[in-house]
Amino acid sequence: MYIGSYQLSNNLIVAPMAGVTDRPFRSLCKYFGAGHAVSEMMTSDKTLRLSKKSLYRANFDGELAPISAQIAGSDPHDLAEAARYQVANGAQIVDINMGCPAKKVCNKLAGSALLQDEDLVARILDTVVGAVDVPVTLKTRLGFLNGQENILRVAKRAEQAGIAALALHGRTREDMYLNTARYSLIKEVKSMLNIPVIANGDIDSPEKAKYVLDFTGADAIMIGRAAQGRPWIFREIAHYLVTGEKLSSPSIAEVQKVLLGHLAELYEFYGEYSGCRISRKHIAWYTKGLRSSNEFRQNMYRVESTAEQYKVVQDYFNQLLAHGEIMSDVQVETVNLLDTK
């Protein structure tokens, strides 16, 4: 699959998730076989451009190409300037966020709230595409309210504006992450567009990935929540799509190595204080549903340094190794990979 002139290594893409898809996480997903990853959203508000959070989010050092920077906002000219800024910063693709359902984003008429104003959507698309010489992609939802889905008009207008690819989450803003993703509208959008369409929403297994690709006819799939604490899901899906066979559960030793490596990257990226705190949610995701994991997490949350945190994680996995060899041996609870808690 191509986005503009960039050929992706496969059709599995990491969804942009604020507070999750930082450079260490994107790099890890690419290591496990994701063909592309989109950055966390970065505000078009230039007064916040040099904030600590924005600088971390705009750090693409050493990342595998193509590098895609997602921008969010509601003013066409601010978004155009943000697009130019990110291209100067190393972005090879710019992605416009019209999908985020979060209240603090929608209250500023950004993210999926933009879908309420199709004229503004059109102005944003035209202005941003015209502002840069790199491919511009769009991430959006079916509409703002259920019963008022306007994605067919928005998608057509996006293609007319020169958008290079459309990533579509099969829910409205009203749905947030409730109900189930509706793939029938994604299928309808795909049938009427010539640009690549990327299906997103509720893809949490190799079988589901194949079903969504087959049902919608989409060019690619985008995976978000299901990769949290499970970056090897991309390897599992890629293998299944090629062979029709499911890989066995990863070994405990491999997951220990992956998690400890991920922690080391987070510590180096964010430093001692933030590295320790940001790592906590990742550790919780990796260990969800595992033997004695509730007790482990309570102890882990009390640790205040990266060295101690690293050691408690290492010790916990060493204990797990006494109870089995592969992760399914120590999985004692069924985990909903799509849970937003």
The single residue of 29, 100, 106, 276 carrying the catalytic annotation is 100
Enter the tokens of residue 77.
């000219």
CA dihedral 276, 277, 280, 281 (to 10 degrees): -140
* Angle at the Cα of 73 from the Cα atoms of 71 and 75, rounded to 5 degrees: 120
d(CA 200, CA 97): 14
Polymer length in residues for the chain: 341
Q: Supply the DSSP symbol for 303.
A: -
Parallel/antiparallel/unpaired status of strands 220-223 and 197-200? parallel
Amino acid letter, residue 186: I
Environment class of 258 (CB within 10 Å of its CB; exposed 0-12, middle 13-18, buried 19+): middle
The number of CA neighbours under 13 Å toward the Cβ of 143 is: 12
Residue 302, classed as helix, strand or coil, is helix
The answer to whether the Cα torsion of 76, 94, 126, 170 is positive or negative is negative
106 is catalytic: no
Active site residues: 100
